[in-house]
Amino acid sequence: MRRRFLLRLGPTGLGVASAALALAAAAGARPATLEELEACVRGNRPPESSVQTVLFRTRDRADRTSESRARIYWKRFDDGLSQAMLRMSDPPTQRGAGVLMIEKKDARADLFMYLPELGRARRVTARMVSGSLFGTDFSYEDFERLQGYARDPQSEMRDGGELDGRPVVAVESRPAPDSGSAYERSVTLFDAETCVPLESRFYERGEEPRKVLRADPARVEEQGGRHVPRLLRMQDLRDGTSTELVVEEIDLDADVPRKIFSQRELESGGR
C-alpha cells in the first residue's frame, strides 16, 4: 500500500519522521493500516511538554570515545504545533551551544543553531542539515526527525516480521525531492504491540543504509503509561563511527516556559 501519508513520531521517537526520546505505549491490536499506526504513535506523545537530560557518547574510527551532555526542551502550543530546544551543557567548550526547532504546519521546520563563538543564531539551511550535531553521529536532520518535524509525503507499510524476537511493523518512507533531505528513503521497524520504533535505517542511495538508529529493547521503561526508550544508538556505517544517546533524566509534562523557544533565548547561551 503506497500512498501520500505523513507519519510523524513526536519528540521522543526514532526514524521514519522523527530523540529523542519518550514514547508511550498504545497497547492493543496490531496496527493494520498506516492510519492505525499513526493514531497509535500519536497517542504515545506527551500531551503538552517534556524536558530531558541526555548524554551523547561518541566513538570514532580509532575506538576513542568522547562524551557530551545536553538538555532537550519540548512544548506543544495551542495551535497544535510544537517547538524544541537542545542546549549543550558539557563539555565546557560546547556549553551554551544550542539548536532551536519551530514546527510548521505545511512546511519543513525552521531550524536555528547557536555557537558561543559566533555570538548570534544562524538559520540551518538545506545545505547544512546533514552536518554533525555538535560532533555526534546525529545530523541536524536526524535531530529534526527525532522531534517528529520531518514530513515524508510517501510511505508504504508492510509486515516487518520479527526483530530480536518481537513482532514488528515496517514502514518505508521517502522525503519529497525538494525537501533538502540527505536521505533518499528510510525504513523503520515499530514494535507491533507498543508502537515504539525499535530500528530505523536511513539510505542515501542504493540498497545499503548510510545510518542505522536503534533503541535497546532492554532499556525501554514504562513511565506514566508511556514506554520510554532510555538508550538509542546511531551508527554511521560508511564512516565506522557511532553515538549512543542515553536519556539520564526525563520529566514528562514539565512546566516549560514559552520564552525558551525564541532566538533571543537561544543566543543567551542558557544564561
Element containing residue 100 per DSSP (H, E): strand 98-102
Contact 61, 67 (CB under 8 A): no
What is the reported pLDDT for 17? 34
What is the reported pLDDT for 11? 54
Contact partners, residue 125, CB within 8 Å, separation at least 6: none
Q: How far apart are CA 6 and CA 18, in angstroms?
A: 11
Residue ranges of the chain whose pLDDT lies below 70: 1-29, 43-44
What is the reported pLDDT for 210? 97
Can you give the pTM of this predicted structure? 0.85
What is the reported pLDDT for 23? 32
Q: How far apart are CA 147 and CA 202, in angstroms?
A: 16
* Cα separation values, 145 from 15, 19, 51, 202, 226, Å: 6, 8, 17, 11, 20
C-alpha cell at 120: 548570534
What is the reported pLDDT for 5? 39
What is the reported pLDDT for 29? 63
Strand, coil or helix: 232: strand
Superfamily of domain 2-267: Lipoprotein localisation LolA/LolB/LppX (2.50.20.10)
- 61-96 burial string, b = 16+ CB within 10 Å, else e? eeeeeeebbbbbbbbbeeeeebbbbbbbbeeeebbb
Contact partners, residue 13, CB within 8 Å, separation at least 6: 19, 20, 21, 23, 41, 44, 145, 146, 148, 197
Q: Give the start-to-end residue ranges of the domains of the chain.
A: 2-267
Q: How far apart are CA 219 and CA 227, in angstroms?
A: 10
